[in-house]
Structure 1
C-alpha cells in the first residue's frame, strides 16, 4: 500500500525560532517560480526516506539545510516530506517536526522481500512514486546537506511520469538513486512495485548487494533526464565546496555517528571516516544550534 496519513501535528515554525534561515532572494530566472506565481497549480515537495532510527539525525539536518537555502520552502511554494516507519520513536517524530517536516508519512517496509541484502531498507524508496498529492518531488538521501539553491533542480523538466530525473551517464545506461526528481503516479508506482516483486521471484534482484538502484534502472532503462552532479556531490576534506548545491556524505561513516561507539568496521574502509572538513563542520553547526533550541522549547 501507499504511505499512510501523518502521525501527528506539525510544528512548522520551530525552525524559524532556532536561528532563522537566511533570507533567500527571489531567483531572477526560475521556470518553477515564474510558473507558480502565475498560478500553474502544481505542487512541489522535497522528500527524504528513512527506514530506522539510525538516520533520524541525518534527516533533521537535511531539513534545516534545505530551509536555509530554499526560496521555495521559505515562501511556502514547496513542502518538506519524510517517509518513515510507523514505529519511529515519539521523540524522534517530535524532533523531525521541529526541524520543519510538514508531513511524516509511515509506510510498510519492503525490506522483508530481500532480508539478506545489506541494502534492503533502500527498497522503501519505491514509495516515492505513491506521493500523489504532489506534481513533482525532489528526493534527497538523508545523509545530504544543502549548500545553495536546491530549488533549481525543478528546472529540469521530466517529459512525463514514465521518466525519472537522476545523476547518470551520458550514454543513458546508468543513473544513481541517491538524488532524484519524480512525478508521482499511480500507474508508475504499481508497475514499479510489481516489477520489484517479480524480480525477487525470478531472482533478478537477489543477494547481499541487491538495492533500489537495480530496481529503478531495470524499470526505467534509458528513460531518465540527466541532472547536474552538483545536486549530489562528495568532496574530500581538503577540496573546495564551490558550486556544490547539495553535499552527499557517501559511505558507511556519517557525521552523526557517535565516535565512542563507532560502527563495526575499520575507519580506513569508510569514505569520510577521517574527513572532518568544511561540510562536516557545517553539519554539526546545524545540529548543535537546532538541539540547543529544541531542548529549551
Structure 2
C-alpha cells in the first residue's frame, strides 16, 4: 500500500544543485548505465548549463555508475513506488507482456516494467523548477535548453510508423515541474483498484495529463523513423535521438543492419571517439519497392 511519507518527501542527490533546471534520466541496470554515459556526454557537448540528474535503482552496480561522475551528474538512488501488491502483480514483466504484448519491435530481456514507474520520482526533485526527462537510451544532438521553458506536461508524439500516431505521446522525453502535490496525486491515481496501465508510465502520463502539450517530433526522434518514415528524418533539426525497442549496445539485434548508421553514432558518443559532424551525415532514403 502507499505510504504517506513517500508522497510528501522530496528527493535530492548528496551534491548541491547548480541550476534551477535539470535533465533527468533513469538507470535500472548496467546496460542503461552505459546508455546514460553516452547521454550525459551528448548533453555536455551541447554546452548546456543545466544539471544532469541520474535516478538509479538498487539493481545497478555502483561501479557501473562511476563514468557518470566525470560528466558532473548528480546521482540519487530510488526505490520502486510504494504501490499495492495487486498493482505490482498486474504490472510484473510476465503479466504485463502477456496482456499487452509488444508487436512492433523487440524489448530487450533486461526490460522491467515496474522500473518504468520510477520515472515519476522526477516530481520529487524539488530542487528544480523545471526538468526535462530523457530516457537513457537516447542522445541529445544539439542544445535543447529551450525545452525548460515549455509548460508541464509537454511530450513529443509517438510517431515511428505512421502519422496516425500523432495523437499518442512517447514518454522517452518530457517536460515537467517537480511538485510533491503532483507526486501525491499521481500515486493515488496510479493505484486505483484493478487499474492496468498497458504501456506503464507512458499510458499513465497520457491519462494523468490528457491535455499534454506537443513537442516537435524532432525533440524525440524515434529510431524506427529511419526506415519507416525516412522523409521525416532531418539531421539538421533532430534535438534528441531515441533508440526505442532494440538498443544500440546489443550485439547483432534483429534491426542492426537497418539501423547501422544510428548504432555507430551511439558508440561514438559512448566512447567519445570519432563523433561525427552531424551536418555531414546523410539522411535516409526510402527503399524502392521491388
TM-score (norm 1): 0.69
Quick check: 1:165 aligned with 2:148? no
Matches within 5 A, 1:54-203: 54-69=31-46, 71-73=47-49, 78-101=50-73, 103-110=74-81, 113=88, 114-115=91-92, 116-118=95-97, 119-156=113-150, 158=151, 163-168=152-157, 174-198=168-192, 201=193, 203=194
Q: Deviations over 1:51-82 (max 9, x none)?
A: 2223111111000001111x332xxxx10001
- Equivalent residue, structure 2, for 1:28: none
- Give 3-state SS (helix, strand or coil) of 2:121's partner: helix
Q: 1:189 to 1:4 in 2, by over 3 A?
A: closer
Q: 1:273, 1:42 → 2: CA distance?
A: 38
- Equivalent residue, structure 1, for 2:263: 280
- Equivalent residue, structure 1, for 2:107: none
Unpaired segments ≥5 residues, structure 2: 1-5, 98-112, 159-163, 274-290
* Farther-moved stretch of structure 1 (135-144 vs 145-154): 145-154
- Equivalent residue, structure 1, for 2:238: 244
Q: 2:157, 2:200 → 1: CA distance?
A: 17
Q: 2:251, 2:261 → 1: CA distance?
A: 19
Corresponding residue pairs, total: 231
Q: 1:3, 1:274 → 2: CA distance?
A: 44
CA contact 2:256–2:263 (8 Å) conserved in 1: no
CA contact 1:109–1:124 (8 Å) conserved in 2: yes
Q: 1:141 to 1:147 in 2, by over 3 A?
A: same
Q: How far has the Cα of 1:275 moved from its partner? A: 2.8
Q: 1:220 to 1:129 in 2, by over 3 A?
A: same
- Equivalent residue, structure 1, for 2:27: 50
Provide the aligned C-alpha RMSD in A. 3.0
Q: Deviations over 1:134-179 (max 9, x none)?
A: 00001111111111122122232x2xxxx41111499996422111
- Equivalent residue, structure 2, for 1:258: 251
* Farther-moved stretch of structure 1 (180-189 vs 80-89): 80-89
Quick check: 1:205 aligned with 2:205? no
Q: 1:46 to 1:87 in 2, by over 3 A?
A: same
Q: 2:170, 2:177 → 1: CA distance?
A: 17
